[in-house]
Structure 1
């Protein structure tokens, strides 16, 4: 382990030790009331389901995904992980378990949990912009071929100055915009499907767009990135939502991904956990199961 990592590890161990009193009990319950934290307790690892763009980006950025002898990418997430099928479930699970750890879109972070620093850097939009916070990924919309007039009008809104203000006002990072928006007045239905991480900002965008163009009927279906990409490919939705890049096999189907925002991935723990800072190596050791208890986080 590098010297800097050792220092961070010792800081974490000291913080956890300071937060633990004699007689720590089981997960949640009495520990929360007494303020104690037992580092010998098993870590409850909370991950996302297969197909989640957040999971795909997280395992790649933290090194949880490794290449095998044949060069194939293998997700090494521990088999004991609790699998959550949405951002909301990750938040609820971590908020209810003192010894848990998970990861979510930075834009979805709320005060029910605590985001830890990564390598001493806080998860903020400014730190993602300046490159110091490394756990970040794009939010994409995915289309195939030419979309309907009303769908294109909505896409134009998203990419405009007006749409990007919605992006930034909801805690995400703007990209270059196309200037002030003027609707074409196109009418009809738009079906949007996919990533639960992209869904919260998409809800805000659709609400604001319909205020400008009342002739648009928008149906939003929340699932995961892979489902949204597949739906765009087979034509069951007009716009797919993905919180990851397209794979080569997906672009070969004639799909196009357009970045609408940048987002960070926040690593979250229960508010009763005294840990405030982890290295990416420490995060990897937790999510691969190498560190089974908080005392094992070195």
Structure 2
């Protein structure tokens, strides 16, 4: 009886001790670790020991080309040839929209996208302390940016030239700024030449969203123009322009020497940032260029290694 009573009293004392400790809200996790609600884990339910899901664009993507160059994931080998060192474990997405959807659906994913195409389904992180904004690109504090180019070969039709004039006019450049990009021209107001006919525009999925806005606005001032936009990637767009299967090619990068040698003339219509994006449940707010480089090369594979 005394033994039972002693155990009962010990149980009460133990319960009291635990209640006293409860003032600091200690709890024990399944793994046996103790946490304190008064000073919660900053990562919440985010498991930093989880593998990083790297999401990249396909070969031929202008965004990928600009990304690997700007972050040093691409290097020249001993023969002077450029080599892309993106990890073989990367998930490959063939458009900006798919990159964002993939990152939005995976707590541990990281990817990159056009700044102007960002939406609130993902979180854009700072790079070396600078937020990815048009203002920061203009003032030079955010250095991860690239041009949006259109390319033509030889003489274009009157209606294609009219559309290009619209894009570069104050009217077209305002649409570019309104959609989060940086304008490339200070030309005056648009005056149409009145031409009619069909224009085929093909290429970059990063340029496509703003091109669709430009198309919509232009056709309101020139209803005689019919514009077909074919979304693919920068390399496909440049090839189509060289082959003559489109009137205007779109590229979200500088043109390659082979494309210029193929007879293409480039016109920068806007400047765009490349945003590094993570899932909204990821507590990461700031990364360095070196950290991004290591992640996309596959040298850093879990979030707790990001230091």
Output the TM-score relative to the length of structure 2. 0.86
1:162-173 alignment to 2 at 5 Å?
A: 162-173=171-182
Instruction: Tell me how many residue pairs correspond in the alignment.
Output: 269
> Structure 2 vs 1, CA of residues 178 and 60 (structure 1 numbering), >3 Å: closer, same or farther?
same
**2:237 partner SS:** helix
**1:104 partner SS:** strand
1:72-91 alignment to 2 at 5 Å?
A: 72-91=81-100
Which residue of structure 1 aligns with residue 62 of structure 2?
Answer: 53
Partners of 1:95 and 1:55 in 2: how far apart?
A: 19
**4+ residue runs over 4 A deviation:** 21-24
> Structure 2 vs 1, CA of residues 176 and 41 (structure 1 numbering), >3 Å: closer, same or farther?
same
Partners of 2:226 and 2:219 in 1: how far apart?
A: 8
Which ranges of structure 1 fall in alignment gaps of 5 or more residues?
Answer: 1-20, 25-33
Displacement of 1:69 in angstroms is 1.4
Of 228, 246, 249 in structure 2, the residue corresponding to residue 219 of structure 1 is 228
RMSD: 1.3
Which residue of structure 1 aligns with residue 278 of structure 2?
Answer: 269
Partners of 1:235 and 1:67 in 2: how far apart?
A: 32
Displacement of 1:177 in angstroms is 2.5
> Structure 2 vs 1, CA of residues 251 and 39 (structure 1 numbering), >3 Å: closer, same or farther?
same
Q: How big is each residue's C-alpha offset from its partner over 1:16-61, in whole Å with a ceiling of 9 and x where there is no partner?
A: xxxxx9569xxxxxxxxx9411111000000000000000000000
1:92-241 alignment to 2 at 5 Å?
A: 92-241=101-250
Partners of 1:35 and 1:205 in 2: how far apart?
A: 43
Of 289, 293, 301 in structure 2, the residue corresponding to residue 284 of structure 1 is 293
Q: Give the structure, 1 or 2, with the largest relative contact order (CA under 8 Å, sep 6 or more).
A: 1
Displacement of 1:176 in angstroms is 2.2
Partners of 1:218 and 1:69 in 2: how far apart?
A: 46
Structure with bigger gyration radius = 2
Partners of 1:195 and 1:183 in 2: how far apart?
A: 26
1:32-51 alignment to 2 at 5 Å?
A: 35-51=44-60
Displacement of 1:68 in angstroms is 1.1
Contact map agreement 2:152 2:264 (CA 8 A) in 1: yes
Residue 70 (structure 1) aligned with residue 74 (structure 2)? no
Contact map agreement 2:185 2:269 (CA 8 A) in 1: no
Q: How big is each residue's C-alpha offset from its partner over 1:238-290, in whole Å with a ceiling of 9 and x where there is no partner?
A: 00000011111110011011000000000000000000000000000000000
> Structure 2 vs 1, CA of residues 37 and 22 (structure 1 numbering), >3 Å: closer, same or farther?
farther
Which residue of structure 2 aligns with residue 245 of structure 1?
Answer: 254
Displacement of 1:163 in angstroms is 0.3
